[in-house]
Amino acid sequence: MKLPEAENAAYDALRRILTEGAYSSVELDRTLDHVTESSRAKVTALVYGVLDKNVTLDYILSELAQKRPKNAVAVLIKLGLYEMLYGNTPVHAAADKCVELAKARVRGADKFVNAVLRAAPSVSLPSGNDATALSVRYSRPEWLVKRLLADFGEEKTIKILGAYLPEKTHIRRNSRKISETEFASIVERLGEFERTERGYYVTRGTLKALDPSVYTAQSLSSIYAAEAYTEGLKGNIDILDACAAPGGKSVYMSELLPDAHITACDVHEHRVRLIKAYAARMGASGISAIVADARSIPDDKKYDLAVCDVPCTGSGLLCTSPDILIGKKDGDVTALSALQREILEAVSSRVKRGGRLVYSTCSLLIEENESITDAFASAHPEFSPITEKTGRGSENDGKMRFFPDTDGCDGFYIARFMRN
């Protein structure tokens, strides 16, 4: 029997993502290049669907099997569970497909896979609004749900967990290469899209059809962040982007401030190459990308704007990157917050008098955000919060918050300071 193409391709991609740590976007794009056009939409839906429902599927699997099966079998069962529970595929049809896959891909597991999948409709998800129940129902890690409940309370947490963003890629135009009118004409002629204040949500087909020099894929929150960093600045200024890879915010800042010179850093050489390639594709000539740890940048130059877009849990990206927290644990938050404090402390010394310091994350968690910047402000009276409103997100005393349930974009945090 010929294996079902979409399920077979999705299984390979999910196995590499869930068990080998592959990046979902990279792995999916590679997979889609090797399937027929008619299967691509389904492969995409299956891969992102299983990743989005991974916690829920793990719970159902634990209820059906006394002992967790090997990874290869667990991934196959999750694929079948997703199809029957969320993909409108009848139980017998989903089970039959996965049994055929099991015979070909994980020999000896077909009877177990069949038994587990056919018993799946008997499993009920937990009720109530405690952390465990919310974690299973909304398919988010329990440690994260506990933190959200502690930080924001039950009502806001449920809104965050239930937020939805379009299942497409957000793009903006390259203002150096194309006018807004011409870009709109091209995108809207190509096919399915959703327009935003800064660009479009588009399908993979549109991405493939566009000239890569006239656009870039960039989330709305990332665009809003770069605009907040540079709000009110102009002229021939020096900017430090201390944790810049892959370069999206550096490149956009160079468009917003075409006379500025931007030093973009990353600790890994291969990621610095990404920044250089990004800048070259977009025609951004004012960016110097260097290999440097943000805590020990080699020169002693002072900057008009220093940006610390620090490494974080990525908990604000759950709507658009459902695999972002796979493998992460609660202890990672504390470890990351220590690194975040070190970076902010080090980079603050590189700001000129009268210059601007910005701290940001794509995390929702207070320990990675307000706890860091409030402690910094208390220890550094030479820095004052910039309290002028930008009109975006939730703003309070120099701090900005974006939430997926209220702002139509990924979760993001920004704190801006001026050196007195």
254 within domain boundaries: yes
Instruction: Verify that 103 and 63 share a domain, yes or no.
Output: yes
164 within domain boundaries: no
What is the predicted pLDDT for the residue at 1? 54
Please work out, in degrees rounded to the nearest 5, the angle formed at the alpha carbon of residue 28 by the alpha carbons of 22 and 32.
145
144 within domain boundaries: no
Give the count of domains, the chain.
3
321 within domain boundaries: yes
Q: What is the CATH number of the domain that holds 278?
A: 3.40.50.150
Instruction: Verify that 405 and 265 share a domain, yes or no.
Output: yes
With CA atoms as reference, report the closest residue to 312 among 263, 358, 372. Answer: 372
What is the predicted pLDDT for the residue at 300? 87
What is the predicted pLDDT for the residue at 323? 86
Instruction: Verify that 84 and 229 share a domain, yes or no.
Output: no
Instruction: Verify that 231 and 101 share a domain, yes or no.
Output: no
Domain closes at, from 157, 191, 217: 217
Instruction: Verify that 339 and 265 share a domain, yes or no.
Output: yes
Kindly report, residue by residue over 350-367, the tens digit of the pLDDT.
999 999 999 999 999 999
Instruction: Verify that 277 and 313 share a domain, yes or no.
Output: yes
339 within domain boundaries: yes
100 within domain boundaries: yes
Instruction: Verify that 211 and 315 share a domain, yes or no.
Output: no
With 0.85 as the threshold, say if the pTM is over it: yes
Two structure tokens written together for 242:
């201390």
State the SS3 of the chain. CCCCHHHHHHHHHHHHHHHHCCCHHHHHHHHHCCCCHHHHHHHHHHHHHHHHCHHHHHHHHHHHCCCCCCHHHHHHHHHHHHHHHHCCCCHHHHHHHHHHHHHHHCCCCHHHHHHHHHHHHHCCCCCCCCHHHHHHHHCCCHHHHHHHHHHHHHHHHHHHHCCCCCCCEEEEECCCCCCHHHHHHHHHHHCCEEECCCCEEECHHHHHHCCCCCEEECCHHHHHHHHHHHCCCCCCCEEEECCCCCCHHHHHHHHHCCCCEEEEEECCHHHHHHHHHHHHHHCCCCEEEEECCCCCCCCCCCEEEEEEECCCCCHHHCCCCCCCCCCCCHHHHHHHHHHHHHHHHHHHCCEEEEEEEEEEECCCCHHHCHHHHHHHHHHCCCEEECCCCCCCCEEECCEEEECCCCCCCCCEEEEEEEEC
The rounded distance, in Å, linking the Cα atoms of 241 and 358 is 10
What is the predicted pLDDT for the residue at 327? 87
Domain closes at, from 122, 152, 177: 122
Q: How far is CA 382 from CA 69, 200, 351, in A?
A: 57, 41, 11
248 within domain boundaries: yes
For the chain (420 residues), the mean pLDDT of every run of 10, in chain order, is 86 94 89 92 94 96 92 95 92 92 90 94 95 97 98 98 93 97 95 92 92 96 97 96 97 97 97 97 95 93 98 94 89 97 98 98 98 98 94 92 96 97
Instruction: Verify that 212 and 235 share a domain, yes or no.
Output: no
Instruction: Verify that 225 and 211 share a domain, yes or no.
Output: no
What is the predicted pLDDT for the residue at 21? 87
With CA atoms as reference, report the closest residue to 418 among 254, 250, 343, 306. Answer: 306
Two structure tokens written together for 377:
């402000």
Instruction: Verify that 206 and 93 share a domain, yes or no.
Output: no
230 within domain boundaries: yes
With CA atoms as reference, report the closest residue to 352 among 219, 237, 199. Answer: 237
Q: What is the CATH number of the domain that holds 13?
A: 1.10.940.10
Residues of the domain holding 16: 5-122
Instruction: Verify that 48 and 76 share a domain, yes or no.
Output: yes
Instruction: Verify that 307 and 197 share a domain, yes or no.
Output: no
